[in-house]
Amino acid sequence: MLNPEKYFNFIKSLGVEFFTGVPDSLLKSFCGYVNDVETKNHVIASNEGSAVGIGIGYHLATKKIPLIYMQNSGLGNAINPLLSLCDKEIYSIPMLLMVGWRGEPGKKDEPQHVKQGRVMLSMLEAMDFNYFIIKGDETEDYETTKKALDYAWKNSSPAVLVVCKDVFSKYSYNKVQNNNIQFAAKSREDALAQILKNIPEDAAVVSTTGMISREIFETREAFNDSHERDFLTVGGMGHAASIAYGLSKYIKKSKMVFCIDGDGSVIMHMGALSTSGILGERNFKHILINNGCHDSVGGQETVAFKIDFETLSVSMGYNFIKYDNNISIAENISCLIKSEGPSFTEIIVPSGSRPDLGRPTSSPLENKKAMIEFLSK
């Protein structure tokens, strides 16, 4: 295994001094350490493409190589700036990408990671990007990292460190400080249960990537409800609002569509709000569950507690329903339901989840079929 502190110091000794990216559960110890010690030279980006952009700017300003970290599901966001800017045939920008390998063949993982994990190396080969696999053997991995960096310098090109599961040893990093924040519920799961209890029975729900969808699945189970009303956006982080918008445009207008989103996800593809808001439908209700962090992959801070979502959503064409902490979630949801959509509300909750939180027991295909059936009724 690699000790995050030692590995970080090793990378720094090779001249890599700037770090940006989007958090990933496989990389959380390393990124957590970087976040604790690099107050100036570390930026948690809104999405992986943006992280590549920040890295390009850093290189232009300093001539140095940035390290850009991401989960392999974020490669899709990064491919455009990588191939159309950083590639040797265009601006030839050297950078070190650190990619967490979810869905590595032979290792058990969730359905949304399996295909991505299987095709990742061939994708990198097709892109003509050299990759170097980090497996958790200290001596070998240090050598491999050095080779990757040499390659990036010599070819003035991105080089990819592909990081397998369980490579980094545990590091307890500082968590987001939630002092002076008034929460609407004792936990995200509790808020979700109250929301689900109070939305119309025939409403469709589109929930975002990560624990929000897992908790919605488990809450429906606990209520002995079926799952046909819920589309769990298990992959495609940041696209729940667009899915819900598409659904709201073509679903029977008597049915409402609730998008239950996370702050990291809203920030990842914030531009989508301009569509779901300005072009949005009356039956569209957008609920942001804001815990100020990427809770599902380790609790790394987002900038969401610094965003004024009322101003943002109103300027994007939504009707904003201000959450009132003096009344219950049930009453707040009732205001949201009565409001003319597209409407937006923000519910602030603490970070964290229960340790025994399960995962959906039905497959995405089963869920899709059930939902299509439900929508056609």
Ligand X SMILES: Cc1ncc(C[n+]2csc(CCOP(=O)(O)OP(=O)(O)O)c2C)c(N)n1
Asked if 259 interacts with ligand X (CB under 6 A), we say no
How many residues are recorded in the chain?
377
d(CA 31, CA 23): 7
Upstream peptide bond of 342 is cis (omega within 30 degrees of 0)? yes
Whose Cβ is closer to ligand X: residue 215's or residue 228's? 215
The structure tokens 């900038």 sit at 303
Residue choice 263, 281, 301, 346 for contact with ligand X (CB under 6 A): 263
**Shortest approach of ligand X to residue 244 CB, angstroms?**
14
Give 218 or 228: the residue with its C-beta nearer to ligand X: 218
DSSP state of 329: H
* Interface with ligand X, residue 207, by CB under 6 A: no
**99 is an interface residue for ligand X by CB under 6 A:** no
Query: Which of the ranges 2-10, 16-24, 34-42, 166-174 carries the binding residues for ligand X, by CB under 6 A?
Result: 16-24
CA distance 260 to 289: 7
Q: Does 237 bind ligand X (CB under 6 A)?
A: yes
Q: How far apart are CA 226 and CA 217, in angstroms?
A: 9
Residue/partner pairs of 216-224 with CB below 8 Å, 24 or more apart: 216/192, 216/260, 217/358, 217/359, 217/360, 217/361, 218/189, 218/357, 218/358, 219/189, 219/192, 219/193, 220/196, 222/193, 223/193, 223/196, 223/197
Q: Say how far apart CA 93 and CA 79 lie, in whole Å.
A: 14
Which residue of 21, 66, 264, 341 would you call a contact of ligand X, by CB under 6 A? 264
* Residue 84: count of CB within 10 angstroms of its CB: 11
Minimum distance of ligand X from residue 204's CB (angstroms): 20
Q: Binding of ligand X at residue 291 (CB under 6 A)?
A: yes
When asked if residue 22 is in the footprint of ligand X (CB under 6 A), the reply is yes
32 near ligand X, rule: CB under 6 A = no
Binding mask 50-89 for ligand X (x = CB under 6 A): ---------------------x-xx--x------------
Rounded least distance, CB 267 to ligand X, Å = 8
Distance CA 17, CA 265 (A): 27
- Identify which range of 17-25, 51-59, 87-95, 321-329 contacts ligand X by CB under 6 A: 17-25
Neighbours of 314 (CB within 10 A): 14
**Which listed range, 116-124, 132-140, 169-177, 293-301, lies at the site for ligand X (CB under 6 A)?**
293-301
DSSP string, 303-316: SGGGS-HHHHHHHT
Of positions 218, 230, 281, 295, contacts ligand X by CB under 6 A: 295
Q: Work out whether 296 is an interface residue with ligand X (CB under 6 A).
A: yes
Would you say 281 or 301 has its CB closer to ligand X? 301
Q: Does 265 bind ligand X (CB under 6 A)?
A: yes
In terms of CB distance, is 16 or 267 closer to ligand X? 267
Q: How do strand 230-232 and strand 204-207 relate by DSSP bridges? A: parallel
Residue type (1 letter), 85? L
Strand-pairing partners, residue 293, are 301
Stretch that binds ligand X, among 170-178, 179-187, 288-296, 359-367 (CB under 6 A): 288-296
Q: Does 211 bind ligand X (CB under 6 A)?
A: yes
The residues binding ligand X (CB under 6 A) are: 22-24, 71, 73-74, 77, 208-212, 237, 262-265, 291, 293-297, 302
